[in-house]
Amino acid sequence: MTPSFDNVLVLGGGVAGMAAARTLGDRNITVHLVEAADQLGGHAASWACMATDVCRHCGACLARDMAHQTALHPKISIHLNTTLDTLEKIGQGFDIRLTSGETIPAARIILATGFSPFAPDPSLLPGLHFTEHDKVITTTQLNQMLKDETLTDFLGTATPPEIAFIQCVGSRNRRLERDFCSQVCCKISLRHTRKLLHILPDAAITLFHLDLQTIGKETRCLAADLSLMIEMAQGIPAEILEDQDTGRLRLVTEDPGTRSRIARSFDLVVLSVGMSPSPELEKMASRLGITPNHWGFFNTKDASLADGIYAAGCAAGPKDILGSKQEGCIAAAKVLEDMGHKPEKQTDVLVWGDGAQAVTIARTLAKKGHRTICFNRNIPDTKAASGQEITFTDPGKILSVDGVAGHFTIRHETDGTKKTVTCKTIIAAPEPEFTTPAGQGTFSKAIDIDAFSRIPVDQLSDTSVILLDYTGPEYKAASRLALTSAMAAQNTGRQVTVVMHKMLVHGALGQQLYDQARKAGVKFLRVNTPGDIQIQPTKTGFSVTLDEATLPGIPITLLCSTLAIGVSPLPGPDFENTAGLLKQRLDREGFLQSANIRHRLTQSPRRGIYFAGTCHDEVDDTDLAAELNDIMAGIDFTGPVRDFGVEVNQKKCVQCLTCLRICPHNAIVLNEKSRPEIVAEACFGCHLCVANCPALAIASEQFSTDQVAALAGKGQVAVLACQRSAALAAGPLDLPGHIRLISVPCACRINQNLVLKTLLNGADKVIVTGCHEENCQSMDGTATAAAEVDRLLAIPGITPDKVSWHSVAANETRTFARILSDAKIS
Amino acid sequence: MKTATRNTDTDLSRLLNRLTRGDNIDECLTCGICNSRCTWFDGPGGPIPRQIVRMAVLGLEDALVSSNMLWDCLVCNRCTQECPMGITMDLVVTRARGMAAADGQIPEDIKKGIKTRLELGDVNGLTKEEFVETVEWMSEEFSDEMEDPEALIPHDQAGCKFLYLPNPRELGINLMHLTAMAKLFYAMKETWTLSSHHTDVTNWGYFVGKDDVAKEMARMVVEPAEALGIETLVLSECGHGYHVLKCRVARLLGREPKFNVVSIPELCLSYAQKGILRFDPDVHPYEIAYHDPCNVARKSGGYDPPRQLLDMCCHGVKELVPNREDGVCCGGGGGILQDSTTTQKRMITGKPKADQMRATGLKHLATACLSCHRQLGELSTHFELGMKVDTVAALASESLVL
Ligand code: SF4
Ligand code: SF4
Ligand code: SF4
Ligand code: SF4
Ligand code: SF4
């Protein structure tokens, strides 16, 4: 048999592996997805839902949804409980034998073997006495208890429970040869503490951290909320003692007030463990001919992959769920390109933004062959390289954005002339505002960090101070600039001091830079708040006096000739207008793009509209490059269009245009006859239009009110469940016969009619279940369904016992079971 | 308000900022791990290790020298045992103590001891004549006790296999201990000697962080020992003496000594393993707890030999919790025991150890350092623990089967 080399082997069925497999499968590539465990989903699928009153955007439930979709994919064959056995390189491809005995020829291999949580082995970290105290647990164990809803029992009678989190266990530690930041554990702990407070509102929580990595969408808001609810203490205890009398756990920490050590007692200590590569990868590396770095990852230059092998997700290096998904898609696109698959069509792209990032984005796309227009008010004078189609235009005032993916029409007005631009894809990248007090008042002689980093080293003054997060929260790009420029200056004999609340290292590279900078002699001073710093201009520069956080009571004065100030991005003046025109939401901080994980990192509920750069999330150059690869993977290799079977029956339509107004995905347009029409490429099949058309003019092949209402038999309990959340949670349960699980495309399919009809048809109860708020793919499905249930409950005779609404994420099987048992269904 | 000015051009920072692993305090991550592990635990006063490191990093010498932390530190390295950057506290603290600016803070007793030791070779001021007189008298007593004219405590004999370097206490208030050691050598049937040129295993130059002093003290031991042409220098049970002569001597002298260095418990263990020494565990028919001297254990890696030897001489060894790398200092380290003004303070620094001792529920405790031995004994009395404290070698000597 001549091996068909259009096969791809994906090792690892976690989020990255599934994302890669689906991207490839959608392009008609046969994918063999090999997973060592007995189910798809990886670690993400075992993670508990972090939702409180609202979704906390952890992304874990996505893994369940993805597993479900992957399993249904016709081009993906899944090999569970299987790993790689042998491998032989044949020409451009590989001949592979799996442990199941199967042999598979593959053109390319994507390595997505994920990670394993660091185990706080007592031989490595004896002081934690991890195995001795049962109330010392890892975040993984806490997660399991949250998932199983066993935490309150485990905590026992302690009221209110006092709980400590210790960050960086097994990370940022050179002694353990793990001198990288695991990136995710701070965010995990923030979500965990928030979740704990939701379950145990009177719990007293202390989060001991090294530098809390508040980064990523809405993480700063979460941290800010939490800072009022929990104690955040810099400094991570490395020893846990047990109180002989009470059995409580004791941690000795520095008490800045009394300038001595004090012992504090806790009922539970959670070790926030970092990431290690999966042991599976270690076993396979030599067979694959790949060389991970000494940490076991591929996130530094000294690691190398072999020809035809690509790494994605946590196998490449620690990252979060959405980042893993993104990397899976990018790896798949890379494979497609390398296998010679040409992008189907070169797309017309509009890049929307005035700043340098927008220019980078436009250039990157043009370079890839996309015809690109950039709406940019500060038109760069450089010409496009030959062969690139790129136009920079000052749009003047943008009046409207109409249409759907593939057919956007943007009208704008320059100098009184109205113009129209059409494009297939829009990438929104408006410029944020960068705040810096440099140049004003006391700081009239200070410069911002960007300016500082551009001073040639030979022109730098002898002493410089960098105020990193003085005027606003720390920002990753600013800390990277501070580290690299301070190090360069220090290495040429200058003295640089960085004053900071904390260092945002976030990842392996950041930790490396921080380590190198300290080693080079850059001094880092910590302050608790900007109020601890006093700045005086002097004849020759500045005098900075501060209360150093690690040296309470010893004010320290720094004299410097150059004072540089870090900049923080704030939502730009255009953001609201841009969001309005694109019909998109801002996040809690006012940046573009909702925090909803169904569309992030780069997409939006409106197909064809993407976000890139600082306008929507905290990105540095590397992250931006990844975002662009992700976007290009989407537009170069679009998948098949799904038909959701929803159509406007033009005969019944009364042209009220309700559907056009309410479609959360803007998938309904007015056709040439000025009648509403659903555009399949843009539709997500949510059925909100079906549920809300007053003329009942929108037909659904599978989910019409009558069809759905007829599904529950007499005396049965109808559980209407969103297919992306509650229905998936119910999946593993063995439901008794009188429960009728009815999977609907979105909770917003439910309306009063549907529920009432179901009851009229003889159902005993109707339980409506769907995503947590802010997790709905169609944005407001949750609120819509909940409101419908509320309205029903206002009808006499409809009691909460008859009709109820519950949020259940795809990973909340236990919650789903509890809802059924609470409903006292006989 | 007194403000300190950040200064990296200080003696201390120059000393410390050599870019080798462990020494480069600039690399401190300010993680605070050390703060949670100081052997003072939550006792009042005492050092805050991260503050020591930070003061040193930032060149705040005045603040460091004038704080109590420099001499409250027991130089036990418990704090930095788990330092993610491999910084070692004993180095930081002793370097800081060694600065000229810190001279005024050196405790009087330590100053005096160093002076005497440099002048006379013995920290307690024992002269050569007194040494010879004492040893010869003890030698006679020893042969009477052993009823063997060949059982001697020899001194200044060239060409012996072993040279025993006693602790000054063994020639002062604890003469019995020297006799006990003599008995062990006697049973080994090897040639051994003491030397009147250097009667003292201690090296307080290490405590005060003065390399020149430490070097001179080491030289005073090494050169005469080499002149005697011995094969192995056998150290009395002394934690810091062991650490200096085992781990630091080459760095101090710029060369390796021309002999091996072992401690007396290590030597006994190897002779027991060879079947030459035999011990009767029933002489001590009880379970015994063992205290790791920080200098022997954490700082020099000598965890197992004392335990193994002890196990041969008693009915089992019970661990104090925590132990080994995590062991808690007896509370007398870093020169604090040698300063007679610290009696009260040592009951604070020793409280965690006393708690550990009590928690064993045992009546016997052994250790492999005569300084720890003294401090532990005082703890037992002060905290009414009713524990008898012995050194490992003394117990071995008692258990000897001749
Ligand atoms: S609903 Fe999903 S994304 Fe939201 S917190 Fe739960 S698991 Fe995370
Ligand atoms: S994200 Fe980085 S800083 Fe935060 S706990 Fe993990 S390793 Fe530590
Ligand atoms: S089903 Fe949903 S996405 Fe599709 S047209 Fe109707 S409202 Fe829009
Ligand atoms: S006493 Fe020991 S643990 Fe405490 S600071 Fe000194 S060396 Fe560290
Ligand atoms: S443990 Fe080490 S790195 Fe951490 S604060 Fe102490 S000296 Fe610095």
How distant is the Cα of B202 from the closest Cα of chain A, in angstroms?
31
Cβ contacts of A525 on chain B, cutoff 8 Å: 6, 58
Determine if residue A218 is left, alpha or beta; phi over 0 gives left, psi from -120 to 50 gives alpha, anything else beta: left
User: Searching chain B, which residue's CA lies closest to the CA of residue A254?
Assistant: B35
**DSSP result, A107-137:** SEEEE---EEEPP--TTT-GGG-TTT-TTEE
Q: Can you give the pTM of this predicted structure?
A: 0.95
Is residue B145 scored above 80 in pLDDT? yes
How distant is the Cα of A260 from the closest Cα of chain B, in angstroms?
6
Is A263 touching B (CB cutoff 8 A)? yes
Q: Is A589 buried (19+), middle (13-18) or exposed (0-12) by CB count in 10 A? A: middle
Reduced to 3 states (helix: H, G, I; strand: E, B; else coil), residue A510 is helix
The residues near A401 (Cβ < 8 Å, ≥ 6 apart) are A408, A409, A410, A426, A581, A582, A583
pLDDT for the residue A123: 87
pLDDT over 70 percentage in chain B: 94
Q: What gap in Å lies between CA A182 and CA A320, rounded to an integer?
A: 10
Predicted confidence (pLDDT) per residue in B214-244, tens digit = 999 999 999 999 999 999 999 999 999 999 9
What distance, in Å, lies between the first and last C-alpha atoms of chain B? 71
What would the mean pLDDT of A412-428 be, rounded to a whole number? 95
What would the mean pLDDT of A733-749 be, rounded to a whole number? 96
Number of neighbours of residue A27 by Cβ within 10 angstroms: 21
Largest CA distance in chain B: 74
Reduced to 3 states (helix: H, G, I; strand: E, B; else coil), residue B148 is coil
Contact B5 A557 (CB under 8 A): yes
Ligand 2: which of A115, A139, A173, A181 to mutate, judged by most atoms within 8 Å of the beta carbon?
A181
Predicted confidence (pLDDT) per residue in B260-281, tens digit = 999 999 999 999 999 999 999 9
Asked if A15 contacts A313 with a C-beta cutoff of 8 angstroms, the reply is: yes
Q: Which two tokens stand for residue A42?
A: 């990886």
The chain-wide mean pLDDT, for chain A, equals: 94
Q: Ligand 3: distance of its center to the CA of A607 in Å?
A: 12
**How far is CA A187 from its chain centroid?**
10
Contact A550 B30 (CB under 8 A): yes
Residue among A275, A301, A278, A276 nearest A111 (CA) = A278
The single residue listed with the structure tokens 């056009």 is A660
What would the mean pLDDT of A502-513 be, rounded to a whole number? 94
Give chain B's length.
402
Element (H, E) at B390: strand B388-391
Largest CA distance in chain A: 88
Contact B84 A521 (CB under 8 A): no
The chain-wide mean pLDDT, for chain B, equals: 92
pLDDT for the residue B124: 85
> In which band, very low, low, confident or very high, does the pLDDT at B354 lie, cut at 50, 70 and 90?
very high
Contact B37 A238 (CB under 8 A): yes
For residues A236-269, b (16+ Cβ closer than 10 Å) or e, as one string?
A: bbbbbbbeeeeebbbbbbbbbeebbbeebebbbb
Give the least confident one: A55-59, A386-390, A477-481, B310-314.
A386-390
Domain boundaries, chain B: 11-105, 109-270, 278-399
Please write down the HEC assignment for all residues of A456-467.
CHHHCCCEEEEE
pLDDT for the residue B10: 62
Is B32 touching A (CB cutoff 8 A)? yes
Is residue A92 scored above 50 in pLDDT? yes
Is residue A1 scored above 50 in pLDDT? no
pLDDT for the residue B19: 41
What would the mean pLDDT of A231-246 be, rounded to a whole number? 93
Sign of the C-alpha dihedral computed for residues A35, A37, A41 and A44 taken in this order: negative
Q: Strand (E) positions, A141-214?
A: 162-169, 204-209
Interface of B with A in 76-105 (CB under 8 A): 81-86
Q: Which two tokens stand for residue A38?
A: 């007995």
pLDDT for the residue A2: 38
Measure CB to CB from residue A253 to each of B35, B51, B324 and give the nearest one: B35
User: Searching chain B, which residue's CA lies closest to the CA of residue A129?
Assistant: B322
Q: What domains can you pick out in chain A, each with its CATH number?
A: 7-114+278-338 (3.50.50.60), 126-274 (3.50.50.60), 348-432+572-636 (3.50.50.60), 433-569 (3.50.50.60), 641-688 (3.30.70.20), 703-822 (3.40.50)
**Alpha helices, DSSP H only, in A149-278?**
151-155, 185-199, 219-227
Asked if B184 contacts B264 with a C-beta cutoff of 8 angstroms, the reply is: yes
Inter-axis angle of helices B89-98 and B49-57, nearest 10? 60
Predicted confidence (pLDDT) per residue in B368-379, tens digit = 999 999 999 999
Reduced to 3 states (helix: H, G, I; strand: E, B; else coil), residue B246 is helix
Q: Give chain B's radius of gyration (CA, Å).
A: 21
Number of neighbours of residue A92 by Cβ within 10 angstroms: 12
Is residue B356 scored above 50 in pLDDT? yes
Q: Ligand 2: distance of its center to the CA of A777 in Å?
A: 30
B278-399 CATH choice from 3.30.720, 2.60.120, 1.20.140, 3.40.50: 3.40.50
Cβ contacts of A519 on chain B, cutoff 8 Å: 19, 24, 26-27
For residues A663-693, b (16+ Cβ closer than 10 Å) or e, as one string?
A: bbbbbbbeeeeeebbbbeebbbbbbbbbbbb
Q: What gap in Å lies between CA A484 and CA A450, rounded to an integer?
A: 11
**Does the complex come out with an ipTM higher than 0.90?**
yes
pLDDT for the residue B341: 94
How distant is the Cα of B31 from the closest Cα of chain A, in angstroms?
5
Contact A238 B17 (CB under 8 A): no
Chain A and chain B share a number of CB contacts under 8 A equal to 151
What would the mean pLDDT of A234-257 be, rounded to a whole number? 92
User: Searching chain B, which residue's CA lies closest to the CA of residue A560?
Assistant: B6
Is residue B14 scored above 80 in pLDDT? no
- Does the C-beta of A284 come closer than 6 Å to ligand 3? no
Interface of B with A in 279-338 (CB under 8 A): 322, 324-326
pLDDT for the residue B160: 96
> In which band, very low, low, confident or very high, does the pLDDT at A640 lie, cut at 50, 70 and 90?
confident
**Alpha helices, DSSP H only, in B41-173?**
49-57, 61-66, 69-72, 89-98, 108-120, 128-146
For the sheet with A162-169, list strands across it. A136-138, A268-273, A162-169, A204-209, A231-234
How distant is the Cα of A171 from the closest Cα of chain B, in angstroms?
9
Asked if B228 contacts B359 with a C-beta cutoff of 8 angstroms, the reply is: no
CA atoms within 13 A on the CB side of A195: 24
Q: Is A773 buried (19+), middle (13-18) or exposed (0-12) by CB count in 10 A? A: middle
Is residue A381 scored above 80 in pLDDT? no
Measure CB to CB from residue B84 to each of A172, A234, A259 and give the nearest one: A172
Ligand 3: which of A583, A659, A683 to mutate, judged by most atoms within 8 Å of the beta carbon?
A683
What would the mean pLDDT of A124-131 be, rounded to a whole number? 90
Amino acid at B301: G
Measure CB to CB from residue B32 to each of A125, A127, A236 and give the nearest one: A236
Measure CB to CB from residue A523 to each of B29, B44, B58 and give the nearest one: B58
Q: Which ligand is nearest to the CA of A782?
A: 1
Contact B5 A263 (CB under 8 A): no
- Does the C-beta of A272 come closer than 6 Å to ligand 2? yes
**How far is CA B253 from its chain centroid?**
19
Predicted confidence (pLDDT) per residue in A5-14, tens digit = 689 999 999 9
- Residue A235 alpha carbon, nearest atom of ligand 5: 5
pLDDT for the residue A3: 41
What would the mean pLDDT of A220-225 be, rounded to a whole number? 96
C-alpha distances in angstroms, A684 versus A220, A646, A664, A666, B26?
A: 31, 10, 9, 10, 55
Predicted confidence (pLDDT) per residue in A588-601, tens digit = 999 999 999 999 99
Is B54 touching A (CB cutoff 8 A)? yes
Asked if A807 contacts A770 with a C-beta cutoff of 8 angstroms, the reply is: yes
A424 forms bridges with which residues in the sheet?
none
> In which band, very low, low, confident or very high, does the pLDDT at A122 lie, cut at 50, 70 and 90?
confident
Interface of A with B in 224-243 (CB under 8 A): 234-239, 241
CA atoms within 13 A on the CB side of A89: 10
Contact A127 B82 (CB under 8 A): yes
> In which band, very low, low, confident or very high, does the pLDDT at A383 lie, cut at 50, 70 and 90?
low
Predicted confidence (pLDDT) per residue in A671-728, tens digit = 999 999 999 999 999 999 999 999 999 999 999 999 999 999 999 999 999 999 999 9
More confident residue, A666 or B21: A666
Asked if A517 contacts A535 with a C-beta cutoff of 8 angstroms, the reply is: no
What does DSSP assign to residue B236? P
Cβ contacts of A251 on chain B, cutoff 8 Å: 36
What would the mean pLDDT of A563-572 be, rounded to a whole number? 93
Amino acid at A642: R
Asked if B163 contacts B196 with a C-beta cutoff of 8 angstroms, the reply is: no
Question: What value, to the nearest 5°, has the Cα angle with vertex B373 and ends B367 and B376?
Answer: 100
pLDDT for the residue A559: 94
Asked if A749 contacts A739 with a C-beta cutoff of 8 angstroms, the reply is: no
What does DSSP assign to residue A149? T
What does DSSP assign to residue B369? -
* Residue closest by Cα to atom 8 of ligand 5: B28
For residues A62-83, b (16+ Cβ closer than 10 Å) or e, as one string?
A: bbbbbbbebeebeebbbbeebb
Give the least confident one: A109-113, A323-327, A519-523, B185-189.
A519-523
Pocket of ligand 5 (CB under 6 A): B 28-34, 49-50, 53, 80, 83-85, 87
User: Searching chain B, which residue's CA lies closest to the CA of residue A517?
Assistant: B27
Predicted confidence (pLDDT) per residue in B20-43, tens digit = 444 688 999 999 999 999 999 999
Is residue B3 scored above 70 in pLDDT? no
The residues near B78 (Cβ < 8 Å, ≥ 6 apart) are B37, B38, B39, B294, B298, B326, B327, B328, B329
Is A559 touching B (CB cutoff 8 A)? yes
Q: What gap in Å lies between CA B155 and CA B153, rounded to an integer?
A: 7
Predicted confidence (pLDDT) per residue in A517-546, tens digit = 999 999 999 999 999 999 999 999 999 999
- Residue B80 alpha carbon, nearest atom of ligand 4: 8
Pocket of ligand 4 (CB under 6 A): B 38-40, 47, 49, 73-79, 89, 329
Q: What gap in Å lies between CA A322 and CA A218, rounded to an integer?
A: 14
* Residue closest by Cα to atom 5 of ligand 4: B49
Number of neighbours of residue A215 by Cβ within 10 angstroms: 22
